[in-house]
Chains A and B, each alone.
Chain A
Amino acid sequence: MGTITSLLDIAQQALIADQEALNVTSNNVANQNTAGYTREVVNFQSVDAVTLSGSTFGSGVTASATSQRDRVLEQQVQQQTQIQAQSGALESALQQIQNIFGLSSTTNSASSTALGTATNSFFSSLSALASNPSDAATRQSVLAAANTLAGAFNSAANQLAQVSSSLNQQVASDVGQVNSLTTTIATLNAQITSLSPNADAGTLEDQRQLAITQLSQLVGLDQISTENNGITLTTNGGAVLVSGSQSFAVSTAQVAGTTHILAGVDGQDVTSNLTGGDLGGVLQARDQQLPTYQNALDSLAYGIGTQVNQQNALGVDASGNPGAVLFSLPPTQSGAAAQIQVATTNPNAVAAAALREGSAGNANATALADLSSANVAGGQTASGFLASFLGQIGSDISAATTNNSAQQATLTQLTTQRDSLSGVSLDEEASNLTQYQRAYQAAAQVFNIANSVIASALNLGVETTVT
């Protein structure tokens, strides 16, 4: 049978276990606002019973705390974080491009944008010249409109280049943050492996999980669980970022004016196969979307410039000379929007007259004005091409915005799921506090009773207080 001292032992264990439970609850409440904290729950475990002379006696309780962690759900949250961060970065970059062209939810006409207005004004000035080819002011207004058009192309191209440059800076900034986080994760990996190789590492694991989530916001990751509670992280292209207690720094290199990313054990260029996270979105905008827009803009500038130059060369200027080029252009389409300039400051250089018409003629001015309805780029008229181009940008932005909203909603959903399991619920903790307090009081009462029983035994049935 159990002894009075075993009663005291059991009561003492109960007090310790209940105090542990109160500590765990208190720690949960204290960390309710701590980022990445995973709530702990108390597991009470009865101590192995003792069998004496055929009778079995319970011998107390122990308490331990375990984190309420669902690794599968946490990996889903990380994956979704990467997707959402990429869509957010892409949307942000496309919005900058939208602003360059003056597009907004209320602007739905290409002709009302700066480039559209400049294009229309240029062809209108040529029409006016056709009506009055000898008028110096009209000739001057053609040059002014040409300068405005060239300026609009230059401005748009320069702003696109600035966006590209700021995206390069963003890449460098992200890489710096990636390196800081991978170092942290490797250090935590080492601590977890040495301190808790076979069980949940509690706060350390929370810190590692938080760092991985922050890393997921920057770059697409694959995570592999390794022995001793370790984790290996690679980019989704396979370049190792963290392996156990070792982190592999990511670096950048300038290649043809763009910032490339080098990663992995041998520092390979992973720029082209890096997806996910802010870096994935920035690279998608910089290397896929932006070049498409730059090419389209170059195509339009080159098409208008080339066609106008060719038509002007067919005519005769106000001085009776063959028409020279109106726009200076690069030899190929590449860079045309940034480099297009008006080649002359002399209004008489506009070849309004056709050959053998005399310098006061207007046939070539009419032909120049008619270029507004000719196919100058991509088999389309200037205004048609511009409308398609700006429509494509608007469509891309709309799709990116919708996608980002949806990905954010999915991330919120997964986070809600995870928090319902791992987050601290104050109501639940309050209930637990009361429960454990009562248990502690009951254990203390058992202790008092045991104390009283011992006193009775020592005084042979006379109840006194043993001091």
Chain B
Amino acid sequence: MTIAQELADILDETVQALSNLDSAKLDALEQRIVVLAESNQKYESDIGLALPKKRELEIVLQNCQANLDALTRLHARNMRNQWAQ
């Protein structure tokens, strides 16, 4: 498998693991990306394969952050309202 394909697969699986809130899978993916980084292979071609997946992961992470912020804020407000009653 080329480094491009491996990277694309890892990005795909990362999005899926984030969707399913699978922290064990995310840990395993972290190990895979560390191994890939340490292999010192050059990413020479097929950049088009990974770029859309990278963009997809970025959007998912941005949404995660936004949702987490919203949930934290709204739960804090709910808690304040409950204590105020």
Residues of chain B contacted by A413 (CB below 8 angstroms): 18-21, 60, 64, 67
Task: Report the separation of the CA atoms of residues A402 and B54 in the bound assembly, to the nearest whole angstrom.
Answer: 9
Q: Are A398 and B52 in contact (CB under 8 A)?
A: yes
**Number of interface residues, chain B, beta carbon within 8 A:** 21
Chain A binder among B2-10, B28-36, B38-46, B70-78? B70-78
Name the one of A72, A73, A406 contacting B59, with C-beta atoms under 8 angstroms.
A406
Q: Are B56 and A409 in contact (CB under 8 A)?
A: yes
Residues of chain B contacted by A80 (CB below 8 angstroms): 63, 67
Task: Report the separation of the CA atoms of residues A414 and B67 in the bound assembly, to the nearest whole angstrom.
Answer: 9
- Shortest Cβ distance from A261 into chain B, in angstroms? 28
In the assembled complex, A403 has its CB within 8 A of some CB on chain B: yes
Task: Report the separation of the CA atoms of residues A414 and B58 in the bound assembly, to the nearest whole angstrom.
Answer: 17
Q: Are B15 and A409 in contact (CB under 8 A)?
A: yes
Task: Report the separation of the CA atoms of residues A403 and B60 in the bound assembly, to the nearest whole angstrom.
Answer: 9
- Shortest Cβ distance from A352 into chain B, in angstroms? 45
Asked if A401 meets B52 with Cβ closer than 8 Å, knowing A72-B75, A72-B78, A416-B20, the reply is yes
Residues of chain A contacted by B20 (CB below 8 angstroms): 412-413, 416
Task: Report the separation of the CA atoms of residues A417 and B71 in the bound assembly, to the nearest whole angstrom.
Answer: 11
Task: Report the separation of the CA atoms of residues A329 and B34 in the bound assembly, to the nearest whole angstrom.
Answer: 62
In the assembled complex, A28 has its CB within 8 A of some CB on chain B: no
Chain A interface: which size bin?
Answer: 20 to 34
Residues of chain B contacted by A75 (CB below 8 angstroms): 74
In the assembled complex, A76 has its CB within 8 A of some CB on chain B: yes
Q: Are A405 and B19 in contact (CB under 8 A)?
A: no
Q: Tell me the A290-308 residues at the B interface (CB within 8 Å).
A: none
Residues of chain B contacted by A341 (CB below 8 angstroms): none
Q: Are A402 and B59 in contact (CB under 8 A)?
A: yes
Residues of chain A contacted by B60 (CB below 8 angstroms): 406, 409-410, 413
Q: Are B19 and A412 in contact (CB under 8 A)?
A: yes
In the assembled complex, A284 has its CB within 8 A of some CB on chain B: no
Q: Are B52 and A72 in contact (CB under 8 A)?
A: no
- Chain B residues with a Cβ under 8 A of chain A: 15-16, 18-21, 52, 55-60, 63-64, 67, 70-71, 74-75, 78
Q: List 28 A-B contacts (CB under 8 A).
A: A72-B71, A72-B75, A72-B78, A73-B71, A76-B70, A401-B52, A402-B52, A402-B55, A405-B15, A405-B56, A406-B15, A406-B56, A406-B57, A406-B58, A406-B59, A406-B63, A407-B59, A409-B15, A409-B56, A410-B63, A413-B18, A413-B19, A413-B21, A413-B60, A413-B67, A414-B67, A416-B19, A417-B21
- Chain A residues with a Cβ under 8 A of chain B: 72-73, 75-76, 80, 398, 401-403, 405-407, 409-410, 412-414, 416-417, 420
Identify 18 new A-B residue pairs, CB closer than 8 A, beyond the known A72-B71, A76-B71, A403-B59: A72-B74, A72-B75, A76-B67, A80-B63, A80-B67, A402-B52, A402-B55, A406-B15, A406-B57, A406-B59, A407-B59, A409-B19, A409-B56, A410-B19, A412-B20, A413-B18, A413-B19, A413-B64
